[in-house]
Amino acid sequence: MSPEVAGAVADAVGARITSAFPIAGGSIATTVRATLDDGRVVVVKHDDRSTPGMFSGEAHGLGWLRVDGGPRVPRVLAARDTPPGFLVMEWIESGPATRATEIATGRALATLHRAGAPSFGLDRPNQLATIDQDNTPATTWPEFLRERRILPLTRRAVDTGGLPATLASALERLAADLEDLTGPDEPPARLHGDLWAGNAMTDSEGRPVVIDPAVYGGHREIDLAMMRLFGGFPESVFEAYDATYPLASGHEERVALNQIVPLLVHVVLFGAGYVSRLRSAVGRYVPLT
């Protein structure tokens, strides 16, 4: 951590950093566990090339996810986007997950989703990794999914060279048919937006914690589909969720549909290695030519 970042953090939180150690925290910003001279232990994410909304958007998202009965969310102490930008959060000591934790995770996530959102979208843009998310509200979930997620990500994946033209054409046909594919109408849920296993943890008291959100109001099945995409969440989590906030009929057949957005994100970020899995998901709903 540079003296400039350390000094700016000290000014923001009213205490000087006495020690800092790198920790795992994603591929975008540098993340450290820092001890302050007043005894507090914090997490500092920082980036010399920070952009508008990079850290303030994450801070807003963490606050938006804090609902009674929902997962624990780190408390934000300070955020700045001006380079070198940073985000300072409370340090949460991790602990082992148990069967009780799994059940609590499902129930807490159901409570979070049920807290709802004013619209399909959000009152501001934000970021998922390095991808800017347009969250301009839409009247319906199919409209939002099509216009704010699938079509923009498809264009970007083509532009980066990762997505074949034939698969892009299939995605456009799928996007046109979303009204017939997304299932029964539901009110917008309060979504984490990037809920894979690496963005969930257990605190020292066995409570579920979520971090690194990319929030917006959307269909709750998309968070749940992301949780199944790369593993990491046991079936007991989903059982506890469904017992708390039952899912609509046919949700099992929509899992692959709701994995298309995160798979497109991975094609944009990491290239053609995710195309095969994306093709398989798309092919469940439209013919591939």
> Could you give the CA distance from residue 1 to residue 20 in angstroms, rounded to a whole number?
8
Name the catalytic one among 123, 134, 194, 212.
194
Q: What is the DSSP letter of 187?
A: P
CA atoms within 13 A on the CB side of 169: 6
* Catalytic site includes residue 68: no
Rounded CA-CA distance 231/175 in Å is 26
Q: How far is CA 158 from CA 255, 263, 269, 272, in A?
A: 24, 14, 12, 11
The angle, 0 to 180 degrees and rounded to 10, between the axes of the packed helices 220-229 and 99-114 is: 150
Concatenating the DSSP letter of every residue in 150-180 gives IHHHHHHHHHTT-S-HHHHHHHHHHHHTGGG
End-to-end alpha-carbon separation of the chain, Å?
Answer: 51
Return the bridge partners of 163, or none.
none
Which residues have a Cβ under 8 Å from the Cβ of 256 and sit 6 or more positions away?
225, 280, 281, 284, 285
Q: Does residue 218 contact residue 144 with C-beta atoms inside 8 Å?
A: yes
Return the beta strands (E) in 83-233 as ranges.
Answer: 85-90, 126-128, 131-133, 189-191, 200-202, 208-210, 216-218
Residues annotated catalytic, as ranges: 194
